Amino acid sequence: MGLPDISTALLRIPGLLFAISVHEAAHGYVAYLQGDDLPKRQGRITLNPLPHIDILGVISLMLFGFGWAKPVLTDPRRYKNPRVGMGLTALAGPVANILSAIAFALILKYVGNYNLVSNRYVLAMLQQAYLINVYLAIFNLLPIPPLDGSKILFIFAPAKYIEFYDRFEIAGQIILIACIFLAPFLLSFILQPIAYVVINFINIILSLFP
C-alpha cells in the first residue's frame, strides 16, 4: 500500500478530525462519569478537534489511515475502582469509533440505496470517515503502551501488570513512531485482517436495517 494521492489525503481530513474528536471525547466523558472531572476542566470532553490533535498522529492518519490523538489526562485516584476505571475509560475511545463507523456505514447504505448524494467527493469523504473510524479503533486496541489496548488489560491483568506498564510506556511511544515507518507491514499483516473481521461484523449489523 503506497502513499495516497493529495486528493485522497485531503478527503480524509473531515473524517479523521471527527474520528479523533469522538475518540478522545469518549475517553473524557467516561472518566467524568466515574467521578474524574480532570478531562472536563481541561476542555477534552468536546467534539472540537483542536484540543485533541497530535500532529504526528494526524499526519499518520492522513497518510496511512491509522494514527492517534493527544491522550486525555485522567486522575484514576477519583475512580471507585481505579484499575477497572482506567480500563473502561480506555475502552470508550475504540467503542466510540466503532459506533461512529456503524453510523457512517448506515449513511452510506441509505445514500446508495436512495441515490441521495451524487457528488463523488462527498461520497469519498463518507467512505474515508467510515474506514478511518474502523482503523483508528483497531490500531488503538493494539496492546502497546500508551495505546488503549494496553490500558484495557488493566481490567483483567494482575497488579504487577501496572508496574510493567509504567516501566515500558516510553518504549511503547518509540514503537508508535516506528509504526509509521513500518506502515505497509502493519497494514497488510495486522490491521487489514482485523479490519476485515470488523467490517464483516458491521455488515451483519447493516443487514438488520431495511
- How many Å apart are CA 187 and CA 151, to the nearest integer? 22
| Cα-trace Rg, the chain | 17
* Four-point Cα dihedral 151, 155, 158, 164, nearest 10: 0
CA 189, distance to chain mean position in Å, is 19
Rounded Cα gap, residues 170 and 192, in angstroms = 26
Clarify whether 163 is annotated catalytic. Answer: no
Choosing from 24, 36, 86, 154, the catalytic residue is 24
Catalytic positions are: 24
